[in-house]
Structure 1
Amino acid sequence: MPDPRIKNEDQYRALVEKGYSKEKAARIANTPDAGVKGGRAKPYDEWTKEELYQQARRVGIPGRSYMSKKKLIYSLRNN
């Protein structure tokens, strides 16, 4: 039975099978437009701190309000 908290169940299962933790796979699968290809997003280094904060909020990174721009980038890339 699919978990109703997971927005993109197929992507979630694929990520878990790839070796991602269940928490990280759920966070990615629940991100708006997750898995949509296009490659139009600019690199995190070019984002404003506010944009990084909003993205961290969308994916559920804890402690984001205390993070510097550099820490936000690190957390988004590694969580």
Structure 2
Amino acid sequence: MADSIKDDEMYERLREEGNSKEKAARIANAAAAEGRSTVGKRGGEHGDYEDMTVDELYRQAQKVGIDGRSDMSKDELIQALREH
């Protein structure tokens, strides 16, 4: 395990759930620093990806730097964003 992961148990659980390494590390480290209940309550600011238009998904993919986004369908954009 990388030395930069502050909560190895949470990191491993998140990876098993299918989260990317980056996302799992970010959540595990935030939970270790702020407390698990704080991180869980904070939540994200965007709604469900399924409720977003293709243009909205494209802009979100652009913000996070997903390559090949212009050729992706709505389902592919959603999958790429979830895996990021």
**TM-score when scaled to structure 2?**
0.51
RMSD: 2.6
Does 2:59 align with 1:76? no
CA distance in 2, matches of 1:40, 1:54: 15
Look at both structures and tell me which one has the larger radius of gyration over its CA atoms. Answer: 2
Percentage of matched positions with identical amino acids: 42
1:59 to 54, 58, 64: 64
CA distance in 1, matches of 2:49, 2:43: 16
Structure 1 residue runs of 5 or longer lacking an equivalent are 1-15, 26-34
1:49 to 50, 54, 69: 54
**TM-score when scaled to structure 1?**
0.53
Q: How many residues align?
A: 52
